[in-house]
Amino acid sequence: MDAEYKTPEDIFSCRQCGCCCTGFGGTYVTDSDIVRISAYILADPDNFVTSYCDMAGSRPVLTQGPDEQCIFFDAQKQCTIHPVKPRMCRAWPFLETLVKNPENWDAMASACPGMKPHIPREDLIRIVSREINNRRSAIPADN
Ligand code: SF4
Ligand code: SF4
């Protein structure tokens, strides 16, 4: 029987709602994200974590304002650092962790209305793996 879900569009379509920039609790930034974003906003990369991040364990995540919005989210529902936004934001929701932990998809979908929940495990792993490979040149592994 053919898989019901075959393409990334079958399981995800961004609604442009901005929910992932609000109250989601952790946009990780890598060292290369920090270098890129700092250059874009003309900040000192050595002070980036202190100025724009909180720590989640040993990893920096972008600070949220009192309204729980990402510090780089503006009132017009625009990412103010879109051309250099963190790897995690560019890759969303096709994250490497889902290949090993596909059960996380539904938890992510509860915060992202663009993600269809309850995708069969095999379909999900196949689509996510292929999309990660397809995007590899646009979103290099890291650093
Ligand atoms: S929460 Fe999901 S649907 Fe909404 S803007 Fe973010 S990625 Fe798109
Ligand atoms: S960096 Fe941009 S896309 Fe990522 S959470 Fe912040 S505002 Fe949203």
- CA 76 to CA 33: how far, in whole Å? 23
- CA–chain centroid gap for 141, Å, is 14
Best residue among 28, 34, 62 to mutate for probing ligand 2's pocket (most ligand atoms within 8 Å of CB) is 62
Contact 81, 37 (CB under 8 A): yes
In the prediction, which pLDDT does 66 show?
A: 81
- Ligand 2 pocket member 53 (CB < 6 A): no
Q: Where are the domains of the chain?
A: 8-134
In the prediction, which pLDDT does 25 show?
A: 63
Q: Which DSSP string corresponds to 21-44?
A: GBS-S--B--HHHHHHHHHHHT--
Structure-block tokens of residue 120? 């069969």
- Ligand 1 pocket member 20 (CB < 6 A): yes
Contact 61, 28 (CB under 8 A): yes
In the prediction, which pLDDT does 143 show?
A: 47
Consecutive 10-residue runs of the chain (143 residues): their mean pLDDT?
Answer: 85 90 81 97 98 94 89 86 93 92 94 95 96 81 58
Give, in degrees to the nearest 5, the angle at Cα 34 between 59 and 107: 45
